[in-house]
Amino acid sequence: MPLRSNLQALAASFASSVLDAIRGASLEELLGEAGGGRRGPGRPRKSSVAPATPRARKAGRLARRSPEQIAKALDRVIALVKTKKDGLRAEQIRAALKMQSKEMPRVLQEGLAKKKLKSKGRKRATVYSAT
C-alpha cells in the first residue's frame, strides 16, 4: 500500500474514533473538559503576590508615582545639588540618593520645568545645578 493512501486511512480512522468518543460523552463531560479552569495559550496569569515595596521590582515599569512623591524626590535632588558648586550629572545624583535610573528623568524634567534646576551640557555630560 502506498504511503499516501496508508496515511489517509489512518487519519480517517483516527477522526472517526474521535467523533465516536465525542458522541458517546455526556454534555457535562464535554463542558467539564473544555472549561476545567485551565488557561489556553497566551499570556501567563499574573502573580497574585505583589512586591512588598515599589523598589523590590527589578525589571519593567515603575509603579505610578503621585505628584507629591515626585515633588519630594525633586526636593531631595535640589538639596543635594545645592551642596555642589559645579553641579552633578544625573548618574551622580542617582547614586548619591540611591534612586533607580528610571526614576530620574521625570524628576529632572519637573525641576527644569519649574525652573528649580538648570542644566548645562548634552546627553550624559549634562550637569544639573540649583537655580
On the question of pLDDT at 79 being above 90, the answer is yes
More confident residue, 120 or 37: 120
Judge contact between 70 and 110, C-beta under 8 A. Answer: yes
For 51-62, give one letter per residue: b (16+ CB within 10 A) or e: eeeeeeeeeeee
On the question of pLDDT at 7 being above 60, the answer is yes
pLDDT tens by residue, 109-121: 999 999 999 999 9
pLDDT band of residue 39 (cuts 50, 70, 90) is: low
**What per-residue confidence (pLDDT) applies to 62?**
79
On the question of pLDDT at 8 being above 60, the answer is yes
pLDDT band of residue 21 (cuts 50, 70, 90) is: confident
